[in-house]
Amino acid sequence: MSLSTIIHAGMRQYERPPLALVLMGGGARTAYQVGVLRALATLLQSHPGVSRSFPFQILVGTSAGAINAAFLAGRAREGLQAFEELAAFWGRLRSIDVYRLNTRRWLRFSRVALALELSRYIQLRGALLDNTPLAELLRQGISLGNIESALRSKTIDALAVTGSSYTSGVHWTFCQTASRETFQPWTSPGRRAEFQPLTIAHLMASSAIPFLFPATALTVEGREEYFGDGSMRQITPLSPAMHLGAQKILVIGVGQPERSGLAAALLGTHGRGPSLGSMAGHVMASVFHDTLQADVEQTRRVAETINGLPQEAVTAMRYKAINVLVMAPTQSLDALALQYTDELPATIQDALGALGMLRGGGGALASYLLFEQDFVQSLMAMGELDATARAAELIELITGP
């Protein structure tokens, strides 16, 4: 993230400093975010003197985090109840509601034949899975009209989702605010922002996990381009929130803690090296790698540098450091997913098994596809525990010291 972005964000003056919620991507793993937010709502409801209105003015989402952000924006006028409704939405999810894989049943008895069939399927569609069910789920679950109402009523100031263009290689942020005229787009090397009323296609594009889900066409700058998951090439996840005016930011990622505890599972037996499953999991972890720490560290260094200037200069700049709080899982999601891989749909187990992707660390790959209730509820419970452990920090971020 550029220094000018951080400095300009800190020099804006607001009577009420805007609070942003940034939700990172990670497929089924983003159920963790739901647990954090549900716990946050409980904390706010039990805290004396705190408003029951929706606490975030700016919502930024990537991949499945974009779906969560859009869902909340559509229900922001319901206040803290929006978080409980998001939990109920995830509580009804199943893998068959998100994707499907249609293969002939007899192929499951021949891994070679199944692998060949899948290869042809991928070449035809450009992806392993059909995510048409997800589009229907989003049409039923996300109220696009209510997003516009929340913006016009000033319940929220902005909603933004990100996508990565396969056509141009540019990482785009699509922003919806109450007025196109007041929106100020930004351009950086490899990154662009544009005002666009968000649609289901934007959410499908942002959440199109490479190789697993097909690309989605969107129109940018008057031309059609094909987009995949917004986590790809996302090098400055805090930048959109700052460009949109945030002075306080809560970021919820689903990045993997240190993986040393899974070393034996990730490597093949008898020193044969990593299996296809562990390599696939590593690739997915690279796609969804949270680059938050670099942004957070740079933001802190800018604040320290400016505050180290002579007091007269600091006063003249009227700079106020951007307050960033990062929430992320304290336990391994790969290890958790290993307990539930048997709950994947049979066709998916057969397909991934035929491709050798469930052996040796297959839980890493499965964790992005396990939209099944035991795994989802475990993730939400983890999020609630992590948020409760940091209750004081969360309350202070929202209400002030």
Catalytic residues: 63, 229
**Going by C-beta distance under 8 Å and a sequence separation of 6 or more, which residues neighbour residue 365?**
277, 280, 281, 284, 352, 357, 358
- CB atoms near residue 34 (< 10 Å): 26
Say if residues 33 and 59 touch (Cβ distance below 8 Å).
no
Do β-strands 223-228 and 158-165 pair in parallel, antiparallel, or remain unpaired? antiparallel
**Going by C-beta distance under 8 Å and a sequence separation of 6 or more, which residues neighbour residue 210?**
228, 229, 232, 287
d(CA 275, CA 307): 50
Q: 178, exposed or middle or buried, with CB in 10 Å at 0-12, 13-18, 19+?
A: middle
Give, for 330, the enclosing helix (H) or strand (E): none
**Going by C-beta distance under 8 Å and a sequence separation of 6 or more, which residues neighbour residue 30?**
23, 24, 63, 64, 65, 67, 68, 254
- CB atoms near residue 4 (< 10 Å): 9
Position 170, amino acid: V
CA of 308: how far to CAs of 5, 299, 311, 318, 327, in Å?
19, 14, 8, 14, 28
Give the phi and the psi of residue 327 in degrees, each rounded to 5: -110, 135
**DSSP one-letter string for 2-66:** -HHHHHHHHH---SS--EEEEE---GGGGHHHHHHHHHHHHHHHHSTT---S---SEEEEETHHH
d(CA 326, CA 277): 29
Token couple for 17: 């400093």
Token couple for 348: 């998916």
The position carrying tokens 């050798």 is: 356
d(CA 216, CA 229): 10
Say if residues 232 and 243 touch (Cβ distance below 8 Å).
no
